[in-house]
Chain A
């Protein structure tokens, strides 16, 4: 799982792809490099917005743990699962 996650983060950071992702306030995600579009739930949208700002997975998990009042480990696991799911399509 960690290998998959590392590969995805490499893909997302290549050519600033992550920062180029367009995410609307309603959770519409458009990848201008591949033309793919997705719908995100609120927590997915928050996760990608934090990562787009250059925050680490750890910091992003801290923000989500605070906002949703859940344990840090739960937030981190959820983020990792979300990113792996995203990696199957992006």
Chain B
């Protein structure tokens, strides 16, 4: 049994980020899938999304219930009110936030949610800010990790003479929360900037282009400068947005070392993803640190290092983390699939803002085994 008297195996876990578009899926569905497929987990999984078309909300084989919450721009108070309603309906024990844009609101609500009995393993506001895209170069320098030279800009005229400032084309233009697009000239760069500002606001980041192989590492920071359960993969194929479409688990000591330095420097608490580029001269550059599980996290379950389950164990104060040795050579290939949604379920999501787990339960086919 855990410290709070209830085994993590029976916890009700709410997971955000249930959008699952093929081009750039949110991590929530994969996190929920990791929980559902763990043989020891018997709790309920509540999917949380922002849009009635967030597919994971209707995935009856994965989620016991699905609910909408207000967009992050509505602020923490609106989120708290809605979470109280969901807690009343579903008796939530843990929330796993899975989207960058919402994390700050959840950080602000951590203590209030804790009072309701809802746990989260998330970073502090300071930790979150230190790894923000516009702060990353400075932080990397302080912990001895290489990062591509980058610059925060608010004025598109920068692109007219950026070459005189050492930023030659092609270069990467990045949104403050999401998206990174390659720009080959000033015309392209300005158009990309306008689009990114429209989606994510000011500022945007400009980053020198690096050539090499892309690797990602996901793990959990224990908040005491330690890194738990690292799983790393090399991207084998990318979508047009540069997201991993296929990947394979690897064991690259240099990348683990970079992640260790970062997590130690941040005293990071919670799940994270480190994206790095290994250049042809074998130098490892940090591209970014994401403050959540990645969309490819199901791969961790496939190599017996189920990180969402590990997160529950850490929250429960479970001493036996049972981490299997890192297994290399396991591939994932992402594919799109149609999820069938009947009219009453869609209506319930649209009109009531959710589908309670007891309602979904009535529709679910229950195995006799």
A residues with CB within 8 A of B? 15, 22, 30, 32-37
Do the beta carbons of A33 and B252 come within 8 Å of each other?
yes
Interface of B, secondary structure class, is strand
B329 at the binding interface (Cβ < 8 Å) = yes
B233 to A: closest C-beta gap in Å? 7
Do the beta carbons of B253 and A15 come within 8 Å of each other?
yes
* Interface set, chain B 244-288, CB cutoff 8 A to A: 247-253, 278
Do the beta carbons of A34 and B250 come within 8 Å of each other?
yes
Do the beta carbons of B253 and A35 come within 8 Å of each other?
no
Q: Can you give 7 A-B contacts (C-beta < 8 A)?
A: A15-B253, A32-B250, A32-B328, A35-B215, A35-B247, A35-B248, A37-B248
What is the CA–CA distance of A30 and B329 in the complex, to the nearest angstrom?
7
B331 to A: closest C-beta gap in Å? 9
Do the beta carbons of B253 and A34 come within 8 Å of each other?
no
Which B residues touch A15, using CB under 8 A?
253
Which A residues touch B250, using CB under 8 A?
32-35
B254 to A: closest C-beta gap in Å? 9
B301 at the binding interface (Cβ < 8 Å) = no
Do the beta carbons of B329 and A32 come within 8 Å of each other?
yes
Do the beta carbons of B251 and A33 come within 8 Å of each other?
yes
Which B residues touch A36, using CB under 8 A?
234
B196 to A: closest C-beta gap in Å? 30
B residues with CB within 8 A of A? 213, 215, 233-234, 236, 247-253, 278, 328-329
Which A residues touch B215, using CB under 8 A?
35
A35 to B: closest C-beta gap in Å? 3
Other than the given A32-B328, A34-B234, A34-B278, 11 more pairs (CB < 8 A) read A15-B253, A30-B328, A32-B251, A33-B251, A33-B253, A35-B213, A35-B236, A35-B249, A35-B250, A36-B234, A37-B248
Do the beta carbons of A22 and B329 come within 8 Å of each other?
yes
Which A residues touch B278, using CB under 8 A?
34
Which A residues touch B328, using CB under 8 A?
30, 32, 35
B324 to A: closest C-beta gap in Å? 15
Do the beta carbons of B213 and A34 come within 8 Å of each other?
yes
Which A residues touch B252, using CB under 8 A?
33-34
Which A residues touch B233, using CB under 8 A?
35
Name the residue of chain B whose CB is nearest to the CB of A35.
Answer: B234
What is the CA–CA distance of A34 and B249 in the complex, to the nearest angstrom?
9
Name the residue of chain A whose CB is nearest to the CB of B236.
Answer: A35
B209 to A: closest C-beta gap in Å? 21
Which B residues touch A32, using CB under 8 A?
250-251, 328-329
What is the CA–CA distance of A34 and B215 in the complex, to the nearest angstrom?
9
Query: Which of A32, A34, A37 has the largest count of B CB atoms less than 10 A from its CB?
Result: A32
Which B residues touch A35, using CB under 8 A?
213, 215, 233-234, 236, 247-250, 328
A22 to B: closest C-beta gap in Å? 7
What is the CA–CA distance of A36 and B328 in the complex, to the nearest angstrom?
11
Name the residue of chain A whose CB is nearest to the CB of B252.
Answer: A33
Which A residues touch B236, using CB under 8 A?
35
5 closest A-B pairs by CB: A35-B234, A32-B328, A35-B250, A35-B248, A33-B252
What is the CA–CA distance of A22 and B329 in the complex, to the nearest angstrom?
9
What is the CA–CA distance of A34 and B236 in the complex, to the nearest angstrom?
10
Query: Which of A22, A30, A34 has the largest count of B CB atoms less than 10 A from its CB?
Result: A34
Query: Which of B249, B253, B329 has the largest count of A CB atoms less than 10 A from its CB?
Result: B329
B272 to A: closest C-beta gap in Å? 21
A16 to B: closest C-beta gap in Å? 10
What is the CA–CA distance of A2 and B234 in the complex, to the nearest angstrom?
31
Query: Which of A22, A30, A33, A35 has the largest count of B CB atoms less than 10 A from its CB?
Result: A35
What is the CA–CA distance of A35 and B326 in the complex, to the nearest angstrom?
14
Query: Which of A30, A33, A36, A37 has the largest count of B CB atoms less than 10 A from its CB?
Result: A33
Which B residues touch A34, using CB under 8 A?
213, 234, 250, 252, 278
Which A residues touch B247, using CB under 8 A?
35
Which B residues touch A37, using CB under 8 A?
248
B129 to A: closest C-beta gap in Å? 32
